[in-house]
A and B are shown apart, each in its own frame.
Chain A
């Protein structure tokens, strides 16, 4: 579902965030990307969502290399990826409903369907009944779950989450991770970047470890011949 082949990313300021990263995550898999801050976790997720382009190597999503994707097709591509952020990135002046509905609205879904699916998504994260509230009226954990509802409302085949539990206490963090686990069980590919190893260890799951921009564990190389030739 998501494949990195010898991917490197060097930022314009000269910092090399990723070096020769190879890994493959299959459909319905839940994978944690771990490593210290600055290890390249966020960069890796940005490459998947085309928020950044790799300097070298190929990123493939759903079997297609996304390197050559024209800017015009990026919006449609992003609708296939639900993104969750540590700082939620909610619209502060819009109620919960509007925030969750945004991906459906930009996709041009009919109003009736928007209404139905927003409620379903809020139900899944346990926030049904809070549609009319503004994000500031919610707790941090609830805000994070609004962000998750927004990520899943369009039923994307892939969810990427960047430090989704960074601001949560351990119980809430575990609850959020269980949500992700549930999504993966229904066939969604979930990639979660986190430095919260305690939470990760609660799950029997892939752990892709980054250190200084290099893969130090958990990459499953789909092309063994390449490994042999190295």
Chain B
């Protein structure tokens, strides 16, 4: 077969499949809706996880670490230690909060002014506030920094509120897994929907398939329009899922930005991006093709011409 006739055949199969879908608009739209929503769910979950990740990337940058020095360590030594701390890998900046400054802040923000005045001496130690580099603000990196500073003899304790970062990381890992499970389950659902739709289509066109085989149509020829139908369903469903998600993102963008602003973040919600779009459309098309192929393989075999 020449390439030209191959192109002709595929064009015919594609146009034939499209024509059939257009001629039964209600059934087509309903099927597309089911496939679209089934694809939209895991895609939405994946988008949510990615957005949560990029949002906490912002929060994690706000994480800092307080190094409480022993009360015996004088301010001059604390300043030296700050210089050393600045040289530690993964540290962005170090600020010295002297005991006096600490007391002043405590008096200002705690409302215990009178009680503090009653103290005979300043009970607070000198403190170094360490801001990690963004790259080192993951839970594991923060813990590493914490251990490094805790080993210094002048350090009494390193306070790090990393618990929530770790919990959040663990939560994201669970969500990631959930996305995979949802993708598999809903993917199987899409396969089943398309497979069943193609099965009904094959049964409806039984007479036509028989005649086609009678005049010498090969299995590949008979199967081709069904494969295109499956691919169109998959692609159409992916397109629908994308539109649904874009609509949802558009609707959520303003409230999410407001929420982020209250947390002091410039985070904005992002819709599906490059690779995700490729995955959605490629996955939809592949599922459509596969569902149709499995169904065609299973049901076309049973249709042999009996003149």
Q: Which residues of A contact B (CB under 8 A)?
A: 42, 45-46, 49, 51, 72, 75-79, 83, 85, 89-91, 102-103, 105-111, 150, 154, 162
A79 touches B8 (CB 8 A): no
B264 at the interface (CB under 8 A from A): no
B221 in the interface (beta carbon within 8 A): yes
Q: Chain B: which residue is nearest A91 at the CB level?
A: B208
For residue A162, which residue of chain B has the nearest CB? B307
How many angstroms between the C-alpha atoms of A105 and B206 in the bound complex?
Answer: 18
Main secondary structure of the interface of B (DSSP, over half): helix
Interface size of B as a range? 20 to 34
Whole-angstrom distance between the alpha carbons of A154 and B217 in the complex?
Answer: 13
Taking the closest CB of chain B, its distance from the CB of A121, in whole angstroms, is 13
| Interface residue from A72, A90, A106, A154 paired with B221 (Cβ < 8 Å) | A106
Interface string of B204-221 (1 = CB under 8 A from A): 000110111111111101
The answer to whether A75 and B217 touch (CB under 8 A), given A91-B207, A91-B211, A102-B212, is yes
Asked whether any CB of chain A lies closer than 8 Å to the CB of B110, the reply is no
- Considering the chains assembled together, what is the distance between the CA atoms of A111 and B5 in angstroms? 9
Least distance between A85 CB and chain B CB atoms (Å) = 6
User: Distance (Å) between the CB of A41 and the closest chain B CB?
Assistant: 12
A110 lies within 8 A of B8 (CB): yes
* A108→B224 CA distance, assembly (Å): 13
Contact A51 B306 (CB under 8 A): yes
From B6, B9, B214, B221, A83 is in contact (CB under 8 Å) with: B214
Contact between B307 and A89 (Cβ–Cβ < 8 Å)? yes
Nearest chain A CB to B201 CB, angstrom units: 14
Contacts of A90 in B (CB 8 A): 211
**Pairwise interchain contact B216-A89, C-beta atoms closer than 8 A:** no
CA gap between A154 and B216 in the complex, in Å: 11
CB–CB B216/A79 < 8 A: yes
A91 neighbours in B (Cβ, 8 Å): 207-208, 211
In the complex the two chains form, is A51's CB within 8 Å of B305's CB? yes
Question: Nearest-CB distance from B225 to chain A (Å)?
Answer: 12
User: A106 with B8: in contact, given A51-B307, A85-B307, A162-B307 (CB under 8 Å)?
Assistant: no
A83 and B5 in contact, given A46-B307, A51-B305, A91-B207 (Cβ under 8 angstroms) = no
Q: How far is the CB of A191 from chain B (nearest CB, A)?
A: 13
What is the bound-complex CA distance between A90 and B306, given in angstroms? 14
Q: A28–B214 Cα gap in the complex (Å)? A: 23
